[in-house]
Chain A
Amino acid sequence: MGTWSFGRRARQRNRFEIEAMPHLDAAYRFALSMTRDAVEADDLVQETFLKALRSFDTYQEGTNCKAWLFRILRNTWINRLRGGSREVMADDAMESIQDAALAGWDDRSFYRSPDEASLLRATRDEIQAALAALPPDFRQAVELSDVEGLSYKEIADVMGTPIGTVMSRLYRGRRLMRRRLSRTLGIEEPGGGVEAGGEVVPLFGERIAGGANHGL
């Protein structure tokens, strides 16, 4: 890189400050969701921001900087998983099990009358526990949409999947999460398919030994 680029670099740092730095909290949330470990999340965010700063000239102005940072963060995390040869579970291969868990589900069951809208009294811990029970790809899709406000297209870019996959992960992830939460809060109606689904949670361990590998 030639010396002439220093002025450009200084400008780039200022732009980085304005465009990327405000997303530090969001990056940390996403990192925490992927790593489930505060120390590892901290480290992942630092590496992501270092890389983002060095790569900032490949960021396309006018696109969503938060989504761009998330993509770097997720790729970095996947590289670490690969490097440590940890198993990554093929979440989408579990569709039939997830569908069984959703049997008898009706979106309307919560919102039939005002006092049944008791999902609304869920605490942060309860919401986090319900999300944590989801397969990781589903959890990430739900959080990127519902918490971080990314569009389907942006989520597809972050996760490197087609939009259709994002939509199906969102659909299943949201409903699995609400069902779990409704059980925690004791508001699922009797016969609402609890038996049909059984206790699905233990199946969705983060990494299952011998689980299928995405080919990542």
Chain B
Amino acid sequence: MDCNTLARYLDLYLDGELAAEERGEIETHVRGCEACRRLVQGEARFRAVLRQQLLSVRAPGSLHRQVREHLESRRRFARASWGMPLAYAAAVASVAVLGYAVVATYPKAPDPVAGAVAAHVAASGPEVSGDRQQVDTFLKANAPFSYRLPLQEREGLRLVGARVTRLNGIPAVLYQYDAGGRRFTVAQYPPPTGSGEVSPRLDHRDGYTVATYPDQGLVQTLVGDLPEGEVSRIVPAAWSR
């Protein structure tokens, strides 16, 4: 370890990103080298100052109160729901236990929904950009299964692009839509084998609203930063049970 190497590893060292052995080498060098000791200590002290100064920025009390009030109102709602008849509650509880048991016993099936969320977040850009017709032409040549354009376009809802991909091993088409300036993704794929009948469900994953529903032999997963109400307007099919 010489002074130049130390300078290169300075950030990694202070960020705690080095393995014990490398850390040891740095510390040995620093013990014997006045200049490097000054560098490491100076930088460490400056970071402490920066951290201390900026940590004093706090959320206003009103924000703490608002978020807490929201949490409380949801909690009251959850508690009130326990007021159901006991026998019913017991039956419900046994179903819940059964549900957990099934989840625990079977090996994890491939999860295209998680893949769809990841694809939406990555926003890696469509292979084809354009209107309905252009997307259709592209997919006729490239889709790995017999696809169908998933949503009926209307005022304020446009298809703007698509790409062919795999979601955790399952072939899929990702459609990109624009709803009044907001982009969302619809992933379309054949039902994963062994998944049984897919029933419509509305989820929230990592902050996104996610709707999964069957549509004429295929499954569609919509992912977007959209309120539930808007999702239900866009895909009423997901709620027709």
| A interface residue numbers (CB < 8 A to B) | 1-10, 13, 16-17, 21, 24-25, 27-29, 32, 38, 42, 45-46, 48-55, 58, 68, 71-72, 75-76, 79, 82-85, 107-108, 110-113, 117, 119-120, 122-124, 127-128, 143, 145-147, 151-152, 160, 167, 170-171, 174, 178, 215-216
Contact, CB under 8 Å: B182 / A79: yes
| Nearest residue, chain A, Cβ from B38 | A111
Shortest CB-to-CB span from A30 to chain B, Å, is 10
Q: What separation, in Å, do the CA atoms of A35 and B60 have in the docked complex?
A: 16
| In the complex, per-residue mask of B102-124: 1 if CB is within 8 Å of any chain A CB, else 0 | 00000000000000000001111
A85's partner among B43, B60, B121, B181 (CB-CB below 8 A) is B181
Contact, CB under 8 Å: A151 / B17: yes
Contact, CB under 8 Å: A120 / B15: no
Contact, CB under 8 Å: A170 / B11: yes
Given contacts A119-B46, A147-B50, contact A83 B182 (CB under 8 A): yes
Q: Which of B78-86, B165-173, B231-239 makes up part of the contact surface? A: B78-86
Contact, CB under 8 Å: B63 / A42: yes
Q: Does B207 contact A (CB under 8 A)?
A: yes
Contact, CB under 8 Å: B96 / A7: yes
B residues near A127, Cβ cutoff 8 Å: 49-50, 53-54
Given contacts A29-B57, A152-B17, A170-B11, contact A8 B96 (CB under 8 A): yes
Shortest CB-to-CB span from B23 to chain A, Å, is 15
Given contacts A58-B206, A111-B38, contact A13 B55 (CB under 8 A): no
Given contacts A75-B225, A82-B182, contact A146 B47 (CB under 8 A): yes
Shortest CB-to-CB span from A24 to chain B, Å, is 5
Q: Which of B66-74, B144-152, B187-195 makes up part of the contact surface? A: B66-74
Shortest CB-to-CB span from A18 to chain B, Å, is 11
B residues near A2, Cβ cutoff 8 Å: 95
Shortest CB-to-CB span from B61 to chain A, Å, is 11
Contact, CB under 8 Å: A45 / B59: yes
| Nearest residue, chain B, Cβ from A24 | B59
A residues near B207, Cβ cutoff 8 Å: 48, 51-52, 55, 71-72, 75-76
Extra contacts, 7 of them, besides A145-B15, A146-B51 (Cβ < 8 A), are: A2-B95, A13-B71, A32-B57, A42-B63, A49-B67, A71-B207, A111-B43
Q: Does B241 contact A (CB under 8 A)?
A: no
CB-defined A-B contacts under 8 Å, sample of 23: A1-B202, A4-B93, A4-B96, A4-B99, A6-B78, A8-B96, A9-B78, A13-B78, A42-B60, A51-B207, A55-B205, A55-B206, A71-B207, A75-B207, A113-B38, A117-B45, A120-B49, A122-B50, A124-B53, A127-B54, A128-B54, A147-B51, A178-B46
